[in-house]
Amino acid sequence: MVAQAEIVQPRVVVDTNVILSALLFRSGRVSWISDAWKSRRIIPLVSKETLVELLRVLAYPKFKLTPLEQQTVLEAFLPYAETVPIRNIQTLPVCRDPHDQKILILAKQSGADFLVTGDTDLLAVKSIKGCPIITPEHFSKIVKVN
């Protein structure tokens, strides 16, 4: 495995809530992460299942996004993401929240360098197949965001 300091362009599973926070709250504490994928300092990873979740969450009434606004949000993310096909689902640690299992599956199947989340259920797993599960704050230090 490559040491963290040697990873030039890390391949990263970014939790749906972190993606949304980065895209919808441009002055928020994780807004830097969208700049990181736009400047190609990181490669966000997605699967069909995580994209379905992102689409579902974007349509939540609390965000009050029109279909055109939802499309605009997706256009600020999807061109930078690498889609990973999910094949054989091998044995994984079980997340306390079964809805988060798809994130762990993506991290394992993709060989991601990091899984970035603020979700305590995912953070409790700590790592999956050599992929550390870390907070956006911890990740910002790794990618050296000012």
The answer to whether 18 and 136 are in contact (CB under 8 A) is yes
Relative to beta strand 127-128, strand 114-116 is unpaired
| Residue 121 dihedral angles phi and psi, to the nearest 5° | -65, -40
pLDDT at 128: 87
pLDDT at 145: 65
Who has greater pLDDT, 83 or 2? 83
| DSSP string covering 61-87 | GGG---HHHHHHHHHTTGGGPEE----
pLDDT at 91: 67
* Mean pLDDT calculated for residue range 61-66: 96
| DSSP string covering 96-145 | SSGGGHHHHHHHHHHT-SEEE---HHHHTT-EETTEEEE-HHHHHHHTT-
List the beta bridge partners of residue 82: 45
Who has greater pLDDT, 32 or 129? 32
- State the average pLDDT for the chain: 90
pLDDT at 2: 44
**CATH superfamily of the 4-142 domain:** 5'-nuclease (3.40.50.1010)
pLDDT at 90: 67
pLDDT tens digit string along 26-40?
888 999 999 999 999
Instruction: Show me where the domains of the chain are located.
Output: 4-142
